[in-house]
Structure 1
Amino acid sequence: MQLASGESFQLSKPVAGIELITVANADANTLRVTVVGETGAPVVELFDSQSEGLVFGVTSTASTAQQPTPTPEQQLPIELQVIGAPEGSYNVPDASTATKTPTPLRDIPQSIQVVPRQSSEAQGAVNAIDALRSVGVIQAFNSPSNGDVFTIRGFQTTNILHNGLKDYVGGATTGQTQLNDIEQIEVLRGPASVLYGQGNPGGTINFITKQPLSEPYFAASMTVGSYSLYQPTLDISGPLNSDKTLLYRLNVSYFNTESFVDFFNSQRYLIAPVVSWQIDPNTKVTFETEFRYQQQFPRTGLPAVGTVLSNPNGKIPLSLNTLDVNAKNDTTSVLLGYNLEHRFNDNWSWVNAFKVRFVGFLRDSANSVALQPDGRTLRRSEQTDIGGPGVDNEYALDNHVTGKFKIGGLQNELVAGFDLYREINIYNRTMSTVGSIDLFNPVYGQPVGAVTSTLNQKTINDDIGLYIQDLVTLAPNLKLVLGGRGDFVQSSVTNFLNASANRSQPDQAFSPRVGLVYQPIQPISLYASYSQSFSQNLGTAFGGSLFKPSTGTQYEVGVKGDFLSSRLSSTLAVYQLTLSNVLTTDPNNPTFNVQTGEQRSRGIELNVTGEILPGWNAIASYAYTDAQVTKDNVYAIGNRLPNVPFNSASLWTTYTFSKSNLQGLGFGLGLFYVGERQGDLNNAFSVPSYVRTDAAVYYQRGHLGIALNFKNLFNVQYFTPRTINFVYPEDPFTVQGTVSWKF
């Protein structure tokens, strides 16, 4: 956040009563604004505008009633210092996911971490899993349907947002999330139902997309790498008219790669145009579309016996593909949406946002079922979408007002609104027999046998939510957050083959949030919070009673700090998160379930983000997570939740030379540690710990950029648990190089 090197800006007599306004650089991260009044100290206000950014309001004493002769003290100029993140810094001071408005991280009574575009680019990240590797509390893998699967604080999460709107389908079924149109990723840890409705308790991931720029911008890149990887990208933006009220941005990319896995190939397309229109000084609307297409070979993993466990036949080759060469897994996604913002005045504004995502998917591949007792024969089944692609569409609407006002002398920042969400899932799928495969002598192309089952159904999930949240300033260094939300949900299933299996279930829930933030000194915040989440459970118990929603309850305390002139920020959090009303087998009627299950996660988390020295940036995280079964009729009490290590840590750091003949040259280093994890809820097997090392070297000179990224530098062999008795082998050592041109 700087003016051009060595420059300052002055405005003489801009309005009556104001002598001079000066804007100058204070340091690499701070602007100093000085306002001098003609007859006395002016009134200067600073506030955030959603349509115009940071706005200064200046009122002179001349514009008020006649003032007495000013004293010398009154004639002193007013000075403000504005601190922002320098270009290239990893430190992002504000986030909107926790409050729906840009809020300083230190004022949020919950742990939240932001992964900026600069970090993702330096890592050479090609998807969201790559980018979020630096957030040590997240465990991630790509599911058999090739959607991203994330585990936060011990619980798998489907809470995916796209610019603050629910995008659960986008995260689960549209394939790996590409990053070419993503500006930053915000990770809110713990329940978020108070603002976003039903969801898992572990956390929420919000993908913030790139927005149109008022000045012409062009960026193109070409990445090539191991396993025939290549990815061209294009990012262009600028004004569409002379007064710059109509802006556009267009991101286009193509990605293609093979793999260390036999006959594996993946290709993905992304086209994402965005247009914004500043209708008047107080009203702005942004229209966005996004087209994604992914054609990727399905992943089913390998048996644990022969990979992380011993097998009398030896080690299973990690390159083995247990499917057939003609396996199909195609996904098409089209997103349309808008975001309308209107500012009534400096204190009140209104946001109306909508998006719809249409997804079509076509699956035709074998599934791994079970390893036979001989340790080499893998039983499989064939899954086929018939009658055309399956459909998974979602609609999301959010409508809210934000306001700043005082009651009883206390400053309030209010967010209140309602949202609507609908998901429609339709598919016609068969399961058929297919020949088993010998893991040590595979024979492909085996014919598909008889159909064993057919599932042809439509599922509709509706959610209507009313929410309110208030951030109350009790004292200059003490803030209280109070929030609550009521949800009314309805799920229905229509079975086109068996009408007796049709069912519909309504539910309602209230989700509160309470938080307190205390700043004993300016750079330090102490906080405590209580929050809840809920998630609908479909079905009935023995006797016909409907299941209640599962409820997540979290208690969290922590400390946040801003250091080195706010260039570096950190959060230390301690929490307990309990998921209750978990379904478990009815001991008296084993074909039914009861809601006596409970799972609990306790942990400590530390994350540090920002610029340590000029040019030296880092993102570091550590998490201790004790996630276990506390009540259940099937799994032993104390069993650890799957894919949740006790200890995990990550570090990504870069240094860029800014002076001398080395200006523009930079280096990056990444260390990612994941401790031992259990493979399933039975705790039947464990997956070993690992340390992965990444490295980067890059050079930026003028418009040209060159980068080399080395991933899994020491070729460490490591695995991710997939499901009962299966694991995913992860990528070995790879290299990728990128050439970019920006102006």
Structure 2
Amino acid sequence: MHSTFVKTVSFQLFYITVGLLSAIAASSVHAQSASTPVPSSSLMRLKTGIPRLSDRVRPATTVKEWVAQMQEAENQTSVKVTGVKLEPNESGLDIVLETANGTLQVDASQFTTEGNALVATIANTVLALHAGNEFQADNPTADIATVTVAQVDATRIQVRVVGKAALPTSDVTLRTGEFAYSLNPDAEADEEVVVTGDRPGSRYAVPNAATATRTDTPLRDIPQSIQVIPRQVIEDQQVIELPEAVRNVSGVTRTYGYAGSTDNYTIRGLTSDFKLRNGFREEGFYGYTDPSVIERIEVLKGPASVLYGQFEPGGVVNYITKQPLSEPYYAGQFRVGSFDYYRPSFDLSGPLTPDKKLLYRLNAAYENSGSFRDFVNKELFVVAPVLSFKIGEATNLTLEYERVDLERTFDRGFPPLRESFQLPISRNLGEPSDRYDFTSNKVNLVLDHRFNDNLRIRSAFSTQLFDSLRSNVQARTFLLEPDGRTLRRRFTLFDESTDYYSLQTDLIGKFNTGSVAHQVLFGVDWSKRDSSYLAQRAEFRSIDIFNPVYGFPTPKTFNTVFGNDQTSNSVGIYLQDQVTLLPNLKLLVGGRVDLVDFDSKDFTDDDEPTRSKRSYTAFSPRFGLVYQPIAPISLYASYSRSFKPNAFAFTADGSLIEPERGTQYEVGIKGEAFNGKLSATLAYYDITKTNVATTDPNNIDFSIATGEVTSRGIELDITGEILPGWNVIASFAHNDAYVSKDNSESLGNRLVNAPRQSASLWTTYQLQSGPLQGLGIGAGIYFVGDRDATLPNTVEIPSYVRADATIFYRRDKYRVSLNFQNISNTRYYDSQGFLLYPGAPLSVYGSISFQF
């Protein structure tokens, strides 16, 4: 857990103030919860300005006396640093300097940056370490390569923190006694970094991200809207499912995935079934990601095809996982809550060898819960070990594995009928015997090598294996019988599996052409996806939605309705150049060529297998310009295109739909305030997507092409720290997403799950001093406007406002919290794409966590 406490004066000024204005000093000491021991004689000298006679130094009369006085003076004025400790936490790294005599007087004006390094020079200090006169540690966090503390001359030491790709993005704090100082630059690299005091918590604002460029780039230099949700937000909100955290981002609406457990999103009115995980494409239809393994979430708005290939033009969500730490870190948590919710978890990390070349991290969680939905339950187990091996000074190998076992009731929510809004939100239209079993295995292997400071190669391989089996009763059609209450149902057995393999290699180089600086990315990726599913069905009893009766026997015989085996192979070649034309004028230009092959075989009980083969080639460009008239402001404009094959979208006659192409224009402004602690992005976008596949309303197992859709709107995101201890993350979006070309009745209709307006606000405040220091409160409000549940528009999902709250106590290594979700017990609904899923009523969750 990271702690920083903003102060606006340096330690030296505080020290002098103690003597000159004792009353103010006493108040300040109390306010900062810091006590600086000062001898009474020194206090007297500071108060009067005249040293006492007994304190005056007598002149030396011999060389021996002179040498002795010099040594005594040095011992009195130079503070000895006897130990250096690194304490990784959830938001960054604390560097603790232990002293034997006195308190370090740190001057924040001596904090600078040199290339990828954060540098702090401390005067009147000498190293007196047991192991020698220099301290060094490698890879303490995922984005820090080395930390060194060394003596630079007779009276000064220097702390140097070197980032792996650029300046470290995690919070780096220098701790001396009861004071702490942030080493991270809050604005320009040459500006003074403010002094911070001892404060639990961390900044909500994250200055850098890699999703938009595949390089670690300041957000203010990216000509596209990108938002980052740090671990601190996930912890403060006690997120149970990751889509709850992404609600904090403008223009993003949750789309309940398969079985009500997976995490999909509608971004800028366009729904995507795929996400990223550490930059690798990940299944969204089946895939499940647990919050315990995630360090932060990066949301890139607009097309991502130029770097990642086949994605929706609305945007993409990238989950960044936790990485090994070089210092021992042990954390555990236990949560309980409404509807029989129980969840223990732990997070362990540290070195496995004395030289710290082999590091590990292990996250694991178990969850057992019921639901507000009738006879719905869930059991989940997640384990995610990571190993990082430093092969050489410039080479690192990381192996990451994750196993997920999920068993739960298969819950399809409600059909998109007006009558569904009249039902109790607990009503289940399936059967108590409905089950869903899901297993996933994910393996990532990353090799990172630096030839020198200007040339780096990164190669990574990923394997994702998904298996699921469901047996459930669900609606046969969306229509009720003439009596207006009887829903026809059928029993379905679905056996599905997907194997996904991908390989990425990036070469990143930096060079200058005259006064123009370049950072060039050249990459190649390959992926293969093998999937198969078999659907078997049987007739089943209808249900009275207003007076249901359950417990009918499971059918014994089934018909194979359809099956499918698919293989896709993709190769992408991409090139990007980040050009610094002037210090305040930056150009981003890039392009990608995709080569995609599909092979599909379909079969049923009655028909011979039919085979379809398709090949696609597409070019996806991107251009962007950033102009910074003053340091805190960035004006940007961009143009980008997307490509997404309709590989798994079939019409009812079995034919494949042509690929989708998207085009976006975006302009915006990014700003910073309070020395970079608070950031904001205002963006306007216009997206056109052609050849869109949507669910066939007459047969939900197949798709139709609606022609062309348009999405345009305005988004505002604000995140960061307003005052010491007061954090905020807020958003607003206005979106107009509709069918702009079509030969059917859908022309002019709004897209599914695309609200015209949405907004969110989450804020926390933690007391910084006094007897209740560490006590905090937080509150959030989420507004989602009315949406359409179907295309053509026949059923509208009502708008809603949901309010959440939290109270917590964070001190030292412990945290206790109580979170309230939907405190007003609002009745609301989310979308499953073509089904409705009711939101949970008032829910309460308590947690206790610790680290050591």
TM range (shorter): 0.7 to 0.9
Distance of aligned partners of 1:675 and 1:321 in 2 relative to their CA distance in 1, 3 Å threshold: same
Q: Larger deviation: 444-453 or 241-250?
A: 444-453
User: Which residue in the other structure is 2:279 paired with?
Assistant: 164
Q: Confirm or deny: 8 A CA contact 1:306 1:316 kept in the other structure.
A: no
Distance of aligned partners of 1:546 and 1:711 in 2 relative to their CA distance in 1, 3 Å threshold: closer
The within-5 A match list for 1:650-665 is 650-665=760-775
Per-residue deviation at 1:412?
Answer: 0.3
**Partner SS for 2:807:** strand
Per-residue deviation at 1:411?
Answer: 0.4
User: Which residue in the other structure is 1:396 paired with?
Assistant: 502
Per-residue deviation at 1:90?
Answer: 0.6
Q: Larger deviation: 633-642 or 118-127?
A: 633-642
Q: C-alpha separation between the residues in 2 aligned to 1:89 and 1:27?
A: 22
Say yes or no: does 1:376 pair with 2:485.
yes
Distance of aligned partners of 1:303 and 1:500 in 2 relative to their CA distance in 1, 3 Å threshold: closer
Q: C-alpha separation between the residues in 2 aligned to 1:376 and 1:665?
A: 52
Q: C-alpha separation between the residues in 2 aligned to 1:694 and 1:29?
A: 41
Query: Aligned AA for 1:551?
Result: R
Say yes or no: does 1:231 pair with 2:337.
no
Q: Confirm or deny: 8 A CA contact 2:581 2:587 kept in the other structure.
A: yes
Say yes or no: does 1:678 pair with 2:784.
no
Query: Aligned AA for 1:302?
Result: F
**Partner SS for 2:233:** helix
Q: C-alpha separation between the residues in 2 aligned to 1:673 and 1:544?
A: 40
Say yes or no: does 1:535 pair with 2:644.
yes
Q: Confirm or deny: 8 A CA contact 1:94 1:102 kept in the other structure.
A: yes
Say yes or no: does 1:512 pair with 2:618.
no
Distance of aligned partners of 1:53 and 1:673 in 2 relative to their CA distance in 1, 3 Å threshold: closer
The within-5 A match list for 1:707-718 is 707-718=817-828
Equivalent of 1:279, from 379, 391, 398? 391
Distance of aligned partners of 1:28 and 1:366 in 2 relative to their CA distance in 1, 3 Å threshold: farther
Q: C-alpha separation between the residues in 2 aligned to 1:571 and 1:209?
A: 25
Per-residue deviation at 1:504?
Answer: 1.0
Equivalent of 1:204, from 316, 326, 335? 316
**Partner SS for 1:359:** strand
Per-residue deviation at 1:575?
Answer: 0.5
The within-5 A match list for 1:121-200 is 121-145=235-259, 146-167=261-282, 169=283, 171-175=284-288, 177-200=289-312
Q: Confirm or deny: 8 A CA contact 2:593 2:618 kept in the other structure.
A: yes
Q: C-alpha separation between the residues in 2 aligned to 1:120 and 1:629?
A: 35
User: Which residue in the other structure is 1:561 paired with?
Assistant: 671
Distance of aligned partners of 1:476 and 1:10 in 2 relative to their CA distance in 1, 3 Å threshold: farther
Per-residue deviation at 1:418?
Answer: 0.4
Q: C-alpha separation between the residues in 2 aligned to 1:500 and 1:523?
A: 62
Distance of aligned partners of 1:701 and 1:685 in 2 relative to their CA distance in 1, 3 Å threshold: same
**Partner SS for 2:220:** helix
Distance of aligned partners of 1:28 and 1:382 in 2 relative to their CA distance in 1, 3 Å threshold: farther
Gaps (5+ residues) in structure 1?
A: 13-21, 39-44, 56-77, 310-314, 587-591
Q: C-alpha separation between the residues in 2 aligned to 1:405 and 1:675?
A: 48
Per-residue deviation at 1:159?
Answer: 3.5
User: Which residue in the other structure is 2:423 paired with?
Assistant: 316
User: Which residue in the other structure is 1:261 paired with?
Assistant: 373
The within-5 A match list for 1:220-619 is 220-305=332-417, 315-369=422-476, 370=478, 371-385=480-494, 389-449=495-555, 451-495=558-602, 497=604, 498-538=607-647, 548-582=658-692, 597-619=707-729
User: Which residue in the other structure is 2:807 paired with?
Assistant: 697
Q: C-alpha separation between the residues in 2 aligned to 1:596 and 1:660?
A: 62
Per-residue deviation at 1:593?
Answer: 9.8
Summarize deviations over 1:95-132 as a string: whole Å, max 9, x none.
Answer: 00000011000000000000011001111101111111
Gaps (5+ residues) in structure 2?
A: 13-77, 82-104, 124-151, 154-159, 171-188, 697-701
Q: Confirm or deny: 8 A CA contact 2:111 2:119 kept in the other structure.
A: no
**Partner SS for 1:231:** strand
Q: Confirm or deny: 8 A CA contact 2:112 2:190 kept in the other structure.
A: no
Q: Confirm or deny: 8 A CA contact 1:549 1:581 kept in the other structure.
A: yes
**Partner SS for 1:172:** coil
Q: C-alpha separation between the residues in 2 aligned to 1:543 and 1:428?
A: 18
Query: Aligned AA for 2:423?
Result: I
Summarize deviations over 1:303-328 as a string: whole Å, max 9, x none.
Answer: 4545565xxxxx32221111111111
Q: Larger deviation: 425-434 or 235-244?
A: 425-434
Q: C-alpha separation between the residues in 2 aligned to 1:709 and 1:318?
A: 22
Q: Confirm or deny: 8 A CA contact 2:4 2:202 kept in the other structure.
A: no
Distance of aligned partners of 1:221 and 1:546 in 2 relative to their CA distance in 1, 3 Å threshold: closer
TM-score w.r.t. structure 2 length?
0.76
Per-residue deviation at 1:174?
Answer: 2.8
**Partner SS for 1:121:** helix
Summarize deviations over 1:678-711 as a string: whole Å, max 9, x none.
Answer: 1212111211111100000000122221100000
Distance of aligned partners of 1:467 and 1:52 in 2 relative to their CA distance in 1, 3 Å threshold: same
Bigger helix share = 2
Query: Aligned AA for 2:625?
Result: L
- State the number of aligned residues: 690
TM-score w.r.t. structure 1 length?
0.87
Distance of aligned partners of 1:620 and 1:446 in 2 relative to their CA distance in 1, 3 Å threshold: same
User: Which residue in the other structure is 2:97 paired with?
Assistant: none
Q: C-alpha separation between the residues in 2 aligned to 1:671 and 1:245?
A: 46
Distance of aligned partners of 1:622 and 1:88 in 2 relative to their CA distance in 1, 3 Å threshold: same
Query: Aligned AA for 1:215?
Result: E
Say yes or no: does 1:107 pair with 2:217.
no
Per-residue deviation at 1:256?
Answer: 1.4
**Partner SS for 1:658:** coil
User: Which residue in the other structure is 2:49 paired with?
Assistant: none
**Partner SS for 2:768:** coil
**Partner SS for 1:140:** strand
Say yes or no: does 1:638 pair with 2:748.
yes
Q: Confirm or deny: 8 A CA contact 2:112 2:119 kept in the other structure.
A: no
Query: Aligned AA for 2:226?
Result: I
Q: Confirm or deny: 8 A CA contact 1:629 1:641 kept in the other structure.
A: yes
Per-residue deviation at 1:11?
Answer: 12
Q: C-alpha separation between the residues in 2 aligned to 1:207 and 1:107?
A: 21
Summarize deviations over 1:140-191 as a string: whole Å, max 9, x none.
Answer: 1322433222100000013311111111x2x32034x210010000000010
Q: Confirm or deny: 8 A CA contact 1:32 1:79 kept in the other structure.
A: no
Per-residue deviation at 1:83?
Answer: 8.4
Q: Confirm or deny: 8 A CA contact 1:29 1:84 kept in the other structure.
A: no
Q: C-alpha separation between the residues in 2 aligned to 1:600 and 1:80?
A: 44
**Partner SS for 1:134:** coil
Per-residue deviation at 1:581?
Answer: 2.6
Per-residue deviation at 1:451?
Answer: 3.3
Q: Confirm or deny: 8 A CA contact 1:10 1:23 kept in the other structure.
A: no
Between structure 1 and structure 2, the one with the greater Rg is: 2
Query: Aligned AA for 1:243?
Result: D
Identity across matched positions, percent: 43
